[in-house]
Structure 1
């Protein structure tokens, strides 16, 4: 691919080839304003934002240019300040004269639509309740029918008991009559009574008490949640379009297998945090930090084994879970741990932080008998104080192990039913099932800024990229096919997918958005 753009302070904005692929560093408006007000780089301490990247439309420092924006079109702030100030004045006038009046009218329309939505919501909920009532009435009728069948079956046994009780009374009376006839009765009476007595004797000889046992029993049918959901009905969810429908093509660049981690243990968790990549070796209290290029940086001893659940907080710090201690932990900038949520009596398996500042967590019930196979995990939404505010998809997941919120607020869950292959289950923020993906038997998931879903599997050496609706966009090998590599965890930063796995292997896959 030709890159015929000029670089450096003297570069002309018109020389940027719009068809070229470039790595765009996504920065939130709040972060951009904060950087502008302080004049300091959020990624590099004590570095001044004295340069401007035209390619990314972003203020940067010298270190940023050297690390991420080397091939971009950048210049000094003072060389573009007058143009940007003029743009600021023009855009301000546009907002005051056109955008704000249009926004006000749109707000009024949205408020009216919101009132209509509330009415429709009420009607929809009533339909669901009516359907539930109808299904329950049907269940009650089936219940009554089965009970009547049981009553009829056991009634025949009761009637048999009454018959044999009557026969017993008759035989008792007959035996006394026979005794009198045998002593004083005529020959004719003796013959007739003896015939009747022999009949009763044959009946008693053939009679067995076991024949009065009722073998009727109830065999419960299989409760199939999916069939019940089909019978109940479904809600046709129509997601509101986002502010932009732009979804760029994902272009995969260089792939590198890094051998500088000096680890031999399997890596069960990986997290991109600023310009650092955090790795957790299985069962270790020590965690390894790499720089943005994959070079070994340092080792941090947490003092606890943090399972397989690294995540990023809204303020940019590392979150992890203490499975044994039943807590969610946060590593602050000064290297100190703090317990932010106590999950007892449930044990956390994985967590993530939502854009609203809440937690999504896979929590495991501790079985009373201490047997791991009888434990159950569920997905919950927790407040910042740890209070459960929502139980998500209770009937949709069998044994959720990993949870993640997509950038469109959908919830991605790695579900691992017992003795079955794992699958990806995606539900809405309200807990409504959207789709399931079973082709890969995924072991971990992450999402990019365009809501694309990135999956890896410990059974395969490749990475699969899905769109937010579950359609497969691309499959790429994490490493060369002749290299033994089993992927266990995945994360993504601005311009690379990071895959870590067995024996300390880490692969870095460059990605750009066209």
Structure 2
């Protein structure tokens, strides 16, 4: 019988016999459905879920192996990339041992490769492709909704001209109005065709994203399931733009010229009168309704990933500051600055306007929320919150607090040190200690030595800069399981000198800036270097970001528009655009 199956035993709160209905992930206690047992676990610092949800959550981390249909006593624990099939160890020995013809790897490696590809494709579709289609469809809907009014304007112009005509002109007017109605219907039809085509593709992309998300929740099928390409969706199709028809009143010279050249006068796309017909009229109307004008907008490649070159949005002079030690951007057009030397926290707009300034003693690091709440650490071992007044969240740390950040769940991650040991602790916004990340699961060694800054990535991973020698970026998942370690000196090869000015120093690198965008890319700056390292969420190095305008980036932050704010050594704030989104 499954050890995790639900059973009738005593509730760990009231000790009465009951079926396990709920489970507190923070306290690791099994609870019955009585309110007296559940209410104490419904506040901050607790996480109560249905017991069966807790079982599913644990099982998501497990990897299930299928049995080999050729050797039923063996599991399919390997994957032949040449044959594109899962194999057992006996199959490898019998049919796939030739290394020149077969490339065999562990099945969890191919799962990891394909999870990364699916995850990357999903992010591109969600953040690059889908918005492009949504935007175009929104514009088409607006154009369609405004179409009737636009044509009404044209009708009014024609009706006013018609008032000056006599009964003999009514036929001409009716013909012109009939053509205008025809053009309107044609215009609407063509717009609807384009909208339906784009909407169909949009639905396909949404289904694609949903299917990829389901694959990411169940890793086993990725070993045998081919990852679909997204290249077709990155090519935005050709679009035809239409201009409304124009109605204009002509002049006698223009009428005479038309009759001399064409022997006819055109009133609308489908109605004209010859020179002989005009001679039989009691008066002549000089007016014309043009046809629809079409302009083909060629198909384009939807840009993704990092830009080829940085685009400097603006540069802000940080007046009345000695040095910007930390920066956070929980807004669209403003940021909080931390100046330890000047002992103040300031709020500044993207135009350079000082919005707010607060004097603070013993400043350490800052982290903010869009609600104008600022959390900061102090040198006297405290974690405080600044709104209209200052209030303590955690006082009298046993460890010395350093960098901090606010998670998506509004909890607070804090780097802490004591002697040569370090850790990352998660607190609630009211100061309750929720989780300590200090060691890898099953490993007595400490993960961190000198943790400096910390952020939560878009996938829930915890990213920490550790400034021990050599300095490195350490990434663990939300449960504290080690993911990867990145050391900058290993990637600063001679080829990287094209990205920055100056020669490399022989001293080991030390981090001083850390940020992450909505794609999960991790950005880190190194002291005394004029460039920024960019990694993807899996730890692969992508690129160095550099520019003549950026000198010694000291602190990094990314705002809600995915622009990078850089506090550099010249005491300026540079806002740059580095993403194609």
TM-score under structure 1 length normalisation = 0.48
Higher relative contact order (CA 8 A, sep 6+): 1
Larger Rg: 1
Q: Return the structure number with greater strand share.
A: 2
TM-score under structure 2 length normalisation = 0.43
